[in-house]
Every structure is written in C-alpha cells, then in structure tokens.
Amino acid sequence: MLRYLDIVDGVDKSEENNSTNIINDVDKPEKDNSTNIVNDVDKPEEDNSTNIINDVDKPESEDISGVGDLVNRFEIDSVHRFFESNNGFHFYTVDDNESDYIREQTAAGNLAYQYESEKFTVLTDNIDALTGEVIEGVQPVYRFFNRQTGSHLYTMNQLEKETIQDTLEHYSFEGIKYYAFESQPENLETIPVYRMLNSSTGSHLFSSDRNEIENIQATLPDFSLENNGNPTFYVFEL
C-alpha cells in the first residue's frame, strides 16, 4: 500500500534548490577588472620626449673635414687642366680669366690647347679665415714658364725653386699660383697628387687619379713618377 509519504519522497519531492549555484555561475556579477583595463589601456604612455630631443635635436659634433667647413675656413678654388696638342704637354690654372683667355685664343686658332676638366681643389691662401693664423703644413706652389718649350713647371720644393732660378735662365718665374699641403693632414680629408716627368719633352704631368697614372705607366714609357713615387703634395677632392 502506497503511502503519501512514499509518493512525496519518491516522485513529488522538490529538487534540491540550486539557486545559489545558478547565481554563482550565471547571475553573479563578473569580477571588476576595470583597474586592469585602466592599467593596460588607459594608462598614459611614458613620456619619451626627452629621449627624442636628445636623439634627434642634439647638435652633431663639429666635423672639420666637411665641405661647409672648407668654405668657411679656407680660400679654395678648382684647378683646370689643359692639354697642348702640338707639343704634348699640360697646363694648369686656378685663374678663371686665364682659363677663359686660353679657350678664346684656341678657338681663334692662336693656341692649340684642349680643355680637359677641373681636376682637384687647392687653397688660394695659406691663412685660416676662422683663426687668422697660418694653416699648418700648407706651402706655396710656384710656377715657372719654360721659354724654350712653352711649357710650365710647378713646384712646392724650395730647393728646386732656388736651383731653377739660379741655374736655368730660360725659365721665367711667375710666382705663387696656389697652396697645398706638403703632407697628409691628420684632421682633414685630402688626396695625393703625383708628378710625372715626360723625358721626351721635359714637361710634367700632375695627377691625383691612380687609374690615369697606372695607364700612363703601362702605355707611355717616356713618363716616370718623380719623388721616388711619393706624392708631390696633397689637395682636396672636387
């Protein structure tokens, strides 16, 4: 015989109240992570403006080998080179008026010079414009005119200059034409210039181009390097 209590216990007994679990699993408000969100997203980035200023706007240290520095410190000019085709020698000048005159006379048929190009940059004074002092290691380059051949000789060597003046009457002294460094300076970028003697004409070729020098040595046996193969002086690149 079924009893009421058995029915209640077996079928109609209410299920255990799980409302607490439901609230914990569903309706319980999520943990407030706003602090983390603020820390991760809204927190202002570290101010790196000081680093930017230090890295970008900080003035660079002075480079005394720069082009601007050369213009400010030194009086400089480019050397023009001509080839005299009748006698096979070269002529060099920093004087634009002289360069223009040679071209005009050649065009008129009075001279036979072929203009080659500007070859290197030299100093036209030996005074540092910023300090007013004589530039260390800078010496004058003198020019002589050979009245027998029509060629010109350039030298920085004082002994050679004096020997020519004392013993070679057919050479006319034309004075200082520009300045150059007698050795390579430590704090400036320079290039060496070499002097080659053409034994067939007695004239000289000046070049800072190693390819040109090597080609001449390989193909023109009348040319030889002077000064034991060492540079005659040092100048600036164009």
Write out pLDDT tens, residues 62-121.
444 444 566 578 999 999 999 999 999 999 999 999 999 999 999 999 999 999 999 999
Q: Which long-range contacts (CB under 8 A, 24 or more apart) does 110-114 make?
A: 111/84, 112/84, 112/85, 112/86, 113/82, 113/83, 113/84, 113/85, 114/82, 114/83, 114/84, 114/85
Say what percent of the chain tops pLDDT 90. Answer: 66
pLDDT tens sequence across 37-66: 334 444 445 544 444 334 444 444 344 444
pTM of the model: 0.70
Q: What is the mean pLDDT of residues 139-164?
A: 96
127-136 pLDDT, tens digit each? 999 999 999 9
Question: What is the reported pLDDT for 209?
Answer: 96
| pLDDT value of position 159 | 97
pLDDT band of 190, cuts 50, 70, 90: very high
Query: Cβ contacts of residue 167 below 8 Å, gap of 6+?
Result: none
